[in-house]
Structure 1
Amino acid sequence: MNASTSDPTNVSLEAARELLVDLVSTPSPSGEEREAAKRLVDFFEAHDREARIDGIGNVRAPADDAVLLTSHIDTVPGDIPVEVEESGDDEILWGRGSVDATGPLAAMAVAAVRTGVSFVGVVGEEVDSRGARYLVENREEPAAVVNGEPSGVNGITLGYRGLLAGTYVATSESGHTSRPDPNAIQHAIRWWTAVEETFEADEYDPIFEQVTTKPVEIDGGTSTDGLSVETTMDVQLRVPPELDTDAVRETAEAELEVGTVTWKDAVEPVMTSPRTEVARAFRVAIREVGDEPRLLRKTGTSDMNVYAGAWDCPMVTYGPGNSELDHAPDERLSLSAYDRSIAVLEHVSKTLQE
């Protein structure tokens, strides 16, 4: 374990909520996390904890490595007016990032201060996980990891699908559109249609267990000099734990007859056991706050995939918020749920320190 830089310090409910509102009020789309990172550093220093911004922009607050609490600072773009709305006995915070993942980030920062465990806020998760990739290359493995993403107060996320992302490029000679010969645009469409058909699943198969395919951007047409037709298409395939990205890549390439595809990113899927000490600690903690634990598998990809690929320690993903509101125009978070998630994280951290 790393030596703790300070003893656990109390954080009031008011200060915990103030941190959350301040962070949600500070725009932090990927690549523009600096101001939010400074606010996090200020929070730790105000509670007598060492914190710094590292070479890539992550906020590091090292302490007891019995568990590392880590979530991402960046959000997707989008301006949602920040306001706290009364709702019965609760209050609801509206704003970009309140769910994904500033709520989990702030809850983890508060729990880390209250318990004296390690914390890292990472950058770039919404784009390329550059903060998490930098972290695993420049930090020792902790005893356990809790990654911060919305799961709901009672949700424990054990698995994520992997990601394979690539760019297809094709060129054909220009000619009159009445000619029957396929052009580059048609070649792109035919390749992707073949890929989709190859990975088509039975309608009863859970999404988590499927390879799902998605074109994310396409550009094509006659070249500037008028001599050729050119097409570029960016694609993504989500990979279930039963497969790996190499197997999916080989299958997709087997359908390639014209053109080339360059694979830009490959993140392996992850599925952890519900029987680890971390998962057990969460089940106990969630019951302590009056909820019944739920075990989750997510169809997307997160920084947990990066950590699982580099570190051989138990880990789960957890955080307040309804994940159906990720990236949504009506993103909002219950403040009572935020408070309870902090209590869960505190309980888990103390259990893992024993």
Structure 2
Amino acid sequence: MAVETTDSAVEHPAVTTEGRRLLTELVSIPSVSGNETEAAEALAAFLEQNGRETYIDDIGNVHAPGDDTVLLTSHIDTVPGDIPVEIKEGEEGPELWGRGSVDATGPLAAMAVAAVETGASFVGVVGEESTSRGAWHLIENREAPEAVINGEPSGWDGITLGYRGLLEGTYVATSESGHTSRPDPNAIQHAMSWWNRVEDTFEPDEWIPVFEQVTTKPVDIEGGVSVDGLSMDATMEFQLRVPPERTPEEVRELSDAELETGTVNWTEFIPAVMTSPRTEVARLFRVAIRKQGGDPRLLRKTGTADMNIYAEEWGCPILSYGPGDSNLDHTPHEHLSLAEFDHSVDVLIEVCEQLGVEQPDDHTSDETTESKS
């Protein structure tokens, strides 16, 4: 395998393999959602240099068609945040610090290496941290594989079987402007009142795991007197996380029932996913983790991922896997143990080989034809 870069972190003595080199290079390239081009090109170059037919589609996803017994896929983009890229000595050896090292450049690089070694199909998708536009584009432009391994941090000895679903929306209210001494509620108060009722509807229960509850979160709010001075406006964007026991439609109806003033525009409906630990893919992961000396952990995550979309649309065996502590996602402390990265690569290769993945002879694929750029 070969990949070229001159970044100082890549020249660190701990970067002893081409997989670690790819990981460090990709973490060194800023790839916030909407600005993934440079990282996508570096990823494509790695795949091409290692003999894989590779192309970038018209939305920015990086494809390396191969054996569709399993599709290895993770996301290229990260959330914003400038964390200096450097390798520090940790309790268990060298650690790579930098935005995306955990979520999800670590899993992405591990899957790219495993794809090169085994011949498995691979796609690096864009936009997971925003609208999942890469995942939606993927399912619209290729046939379902036999199985999917979605790259997200689970720890090298963990596999993620479930994610909660997601409802997103925007609440908007308008009221006449007036003196603040008046008792009549204004648009901002209407927004606050509706949201308080929604929170009461899904009040947290400390005796029930978070994964099994609906949780509510406002993510942006704006309000005040309009430009012409004649009205008061309020706009609030929010998210509701939905457990497998409830449907997005049910949660939406309960939220709408609390609406007395204003309107809600629902913009995202992604169902929860919970897969069986008894699938052949899950079994092979447990075997591979034990072979590396680990004790397999089965995880459920309170967030939402591209896995939800693939499970809903393709209906094939699926789980999420990748190196890294998900508690570090999106934090200023994001870093990844290089030894953990190595373990995850070995686990992925073992699983692909046990599934019967073969190196492609003629670079053919079940993928439909897409425009290449």
Shorter-chain TM-score tier: over 0.9
- Give unmatched runs, 5+ long, in structure 2: 4-14, 358-373
Residues 142 and 222 (structure 1 numbering): CA distance in 2 closer, same or farther, change over 3 Å? same
- For the residue of structure 2 that corresponds to 1:36, the secondary structure is helix
The CA deviation at 1:86 is: 2.7
- Aligned partner of 1:21 in structure 2 is 24
Separation in structure 1 between the aligned mates of residue 228 and residue 90 of structure 2, nearest angstrom: 61
CA contact (8 A) 2:92 2:337 kept: no
Between 1:26-35 and 1:11-20, the stretch displaced more is 11-20
Q: Deviations over 1:139-198 (max 9, x none)?
A: 110000000000001111000000000000001111111111111111100000000001
- For the residue of structure 2 that corresponds to 1:219, the secondary structure is strand
Residues 89 and 211 (structure 1 numbering): CA distance in 2 closer, same or farther, change over 3 Å? closer
Percentage of matched positions with identical amino acids: 67
- Aligned partner of 1:48 in structure 2 is 51
For 2:82, the aligned partner's letter is D
- Aligned partner of 1:319 in structure 2 is 322
Separation in structure 2 between the aligned mates of residue 294 and residue 122 of structure 1, nearest angstrom: 26
Separation in structure 2 between the aligned mates of residue 88 and residue 266 of structure 1, nearest angstrom: 42
- For the residue of structure 2 that corresponds to 1:343, the secondary structure is helix
- For the residue of structure 2 that corresponds to 1:135, the secondary structure is helix
- For the residue of structure 1 that corresponds to 2:224, the secondary structure is strand
Separation in structure 2 between the aligned mates of residue 235 and residue 87 of structure 1, nearest angstrom: 38
Aligned with 1:227 (options 215, 226, 230): 230
Aligned with 1:188 (options 175, 187, 191): 191
**Which structure 1 residue ranges, 4+ long, deviate > 4 Å from structure 2?**
9-13
User: Are 2:239 and 1:236 aligned?
Assistant: yes
For 2:344, the aligned partner's letter is S
Separation in structure 1 between the aligned mates of residue 170 and residue 160 of structure 2, nearest angstrom: 30
Aligned with 1:198 (options 185, 201, 205): 201
- Give unmatched runs, 5+ long, in structure 1: 1-8
- Aligned partner of 1:163 in structure 2 is 166
Aligned with 1:290 (options 279, 290, 293): 293
- Aligned partner of 2:10 in structure 1 is none
CA contact (8 A) 2:188 2:224 kept: yes
The CA deviation at 1:226 is: 1.0
The CA deviation at 1:309 is: 1.0
- Aligned partner of 1:3 in structure 2 is none
Aligned with 2:145 (options 142, 153, 158): 142
For 1:144, the aligned partner's letter is A
User: Are 2:63 and 1:60 aligned?
Assistant: yes
- Aligned partner of 1:178 in structure 2 is 181
CA contact (8 A) 2:2 2:49 kept: no
Taking only aligned residues, the RMSD between alpha carbons, in angstroms, comes to 1.4
Separation in structure 2 between the aligned mates of residue 169 and residue 353 of structure 1, nearest angstrom: 53
CA contact (8 A) 2:73 2:111 kept: yes
User: Are 2:311 and 1:308 aligned?
Assistant: yes
- Aligned partner of 1:83 in structure 2 is 86
For 1:344, the aligned partner's letter is V
Pairing 1:209-288 to 2, within 5 Å after superposition = 209-288=212-291
Separation in structure 1 between the aligned mates of residue 129 and residue 2 of structure 2, nearest angstrom: 32
Aligned with 1:103 (options 101, 106, 114): 106
- Aligned partner of 2:365 in structure 1 is none
Q: How many aligned positions are there? A: 346
Separation in structure 1 between the aligned mates of residue 16 and residue 49 of structure 2, nearest angstrom: 15
- For the residue of structure 2 that corresponds to 1:152, the secondary structure is coil
Separation in structure 1 between the aligned mates of residue 106 and residue 92 of structure 2, nearest angstrom: 20
- TM-score of the superposed pair, with normalisation by structure 2: 0.91
The CA deviation at 1:105 is: 0.2
Separation in structure 1 between the aligned mates of residue 90 and residue 320 of structure 2, nearest angstrom: 28
The CA deviation at 1:109 is: 0.2
CA contact (8 A) 1:10 1:113 kept: no
CA contact (8 A) 2:216 2:241 kept: yes
The CA deviation at 1:87 is: 3.3
Q: Deviations over 1:194-248 (max 9, x none)?
A: 0000111321110000000011111111111111111001011000000111110
- For the residue of structure 1 that corresponds to 2:156, the secondary structure is strand
- For the residue of structure 2 that corresponds to 1:114, the secondary structure is helix
CA contact (8 A) 1:10 1:114 kept: no
The CA deviation at 1:311 is: 0.5
Between 1:175-184 and 1:337-346, the stretch displaced more is 175-184
